[in-house]
């Protein structure tokens, strides 16, 4: 059984841990506020841009772009966006399970690239691992993500790979996220979607300067916007998950402190009772 001195040391250590987890929770909360604002502002633009591309590309006749080409190539690249740091609950483990399931079930020969090292470290060494991107700060800027997107896009346009995917956690709230594997390239519409859009828009639009120039500009922007939005989702989900995990850790520390304090008080009371009994017994023996 632990003595009073050992319990005091445990209480002191647990209080120190509680201060750390509380501080980490507050830092994550501040970062989450900014990240949540970024993703909520970015999503409508990305969705509207993607929707516009689908409509215009379905209506314009005889248009072709290299990002729309289906390729007879069994190779693919998967970019996994995870974190460099831990202490964020199941954020990385759930994404790793999703990626592992995708790699096990797909018939494609997939090479896996990474932003963040945690999922890379969790994946088995049997998977074909490519490069890990590093940046000046923990969260890459749009320009840095643009460089990543261009590099992966060149693998697709040169025919080195036939598909480009991204794996990330979709942010819902501070306590909710979902791991997702999404195809970035090729940006294709199946025939059913095209027919539905043609029925919905039984007319053509007026374009300025012309549909080819517009699509040649918007399609690469849509690809890069989708990739960057995936990063913003991942960042917001990470901060939300870490804030929630640190909140739970702080609560567990407080419970542990209460339990240890009660145990220490019981031992102290037992020691006092024992001492009193010894004093009384000694006094009686002297009077005896």
Task: Extract the runs of DSSP E, i.e. beta strands, from 29-88.
Answer: 75-81
- Residue 273: the pLDDT is 84
CATH code for 22-244? 3.40.1380.10
| Cα angle 84-90-94, degrees, rounded to a multiple of 5 | 90
Cα dist from 162 to 119, 152, 183, whole Å: 24, 11, 11
Q: Are 32 and 233 in contact (CB under 8 A)?
A: no
The percent of residues above 90 in pLDDT, for the chain, comes to 62
Contact call for residues 140 and 67 (beta carbons, < 8 A): no
- Position 2 scores a pLDDT of 65
Element (H, E) at 116: none
Residue 1 predicted with pLDDT over 60: no
261 HSE (CA, 13 A, CB side)? 9
Residue 268 in this model has a pLDDT that exceeds 90? no
* Residue, of 69 and 148, whose pLDDT is higher: 148
Task: Answer whether residue 280 shows pLDDT above 90.
Answer: no
**Mean pLDDT, range 129-151, rounded to an integer:** 92
Secondary structure of residue 175 in the 3-state scheme: coil
Q: At a CB cut-off of 8 Å and minimum separation 6, what does 21 contact?
A: 246, 249, 250, 253
pLDDT at 17 over 70: yes
What is the maximum span of the chain, computed from C-alpha positions, in angstroms?
116
pTM: 0.87
Tens-digit pLDDT profile for residues 220-242:
999 999 999 999 999 999 999 99
Q: Where are the domains of the chain?
A: 22-244
- pLDDT tens digits, 103-139: 999 999 999 999 999 999 998 777 899 999 999 888 8
Alpha-carbon distance of 175 to 239, in angstroms, equals: 10
pLDDT digits (tens, 9 = 90+) for 80-95: 999 999 899 999 999 9
Determine contact, residues 11/256, Cβ cutoff 8 Å: no
Note the helical H segments in 106-205: 118-122, 142-157, 191-200
Residue the block writes with tokens 């750390």 = 20
What would the two tokens of residue 134 be? 């590093």
- pLDDT (tens digit per residue) in 43-74: 999 888 888 887 777 777 777 788 888 888 89
90 CB contacts (<8 Å, ≥6 apart)? 241
d(Cα 100, Cα 110) in Å, to the nearest integer?
11
């Amino acid at each position: 059984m632990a003595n009073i001195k050992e319990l005091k040391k445990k209480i002191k250590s647990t209080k120190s841990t509680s201060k750390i987890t509380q501080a980490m929770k507050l830092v994550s909360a501040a970062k989450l506020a900014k990240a949540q604002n970024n993703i909520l502002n970015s999503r409508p633009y990305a969705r509207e841009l993607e929707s516009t591309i689908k409509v215009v590309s379905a209506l314009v006749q005889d248009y072709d772009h290299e990002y729309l080409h289906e390729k007879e190539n069994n190779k693919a690249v998967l970019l996994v966006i995870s974190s460099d740091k831990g202490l964020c609950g199941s954020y990385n483990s759930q994404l790793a399970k999703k990626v592992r399931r995708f790699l096990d079930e797909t018939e494609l020969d997939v090479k896996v690239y990474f932003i963040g090292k945690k999922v890379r470290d969790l994946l088995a060494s049997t998977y074909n691992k490519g490069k890990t991107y590093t940046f000046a700060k923990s969260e890459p800027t749009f320009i840095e993500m643009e460089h990543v997107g261009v590099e992966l896009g060149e693998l697709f346009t040169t025919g080195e790979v036939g598909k480009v995917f991204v794996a990330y956690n979709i942010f819902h709230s501070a306590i909710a996220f979902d791991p997702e594997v999404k195809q970035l390239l090729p940006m294709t519409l199946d025939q059913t979607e095209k027919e539905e859009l043609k029925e919905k828009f039984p007319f053509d639009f007026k374009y300025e300067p012309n549909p080819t120039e517009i699509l040649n500009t918007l399609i690469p922007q849509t690809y890069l916007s989708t990739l960057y939005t995936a990063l913003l989702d991942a960042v917001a989900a990470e901060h939300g998950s870490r804030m929630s995990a640190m909140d739970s850790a702080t609560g567990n520390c407080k419970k542990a402190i209460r339990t240890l304090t009660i145990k220490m008080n019981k031992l102290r009371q037992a020691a006092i009772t024992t001492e009193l009994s010894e004093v009384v017994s000694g006094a009686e023996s002297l009077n005896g």
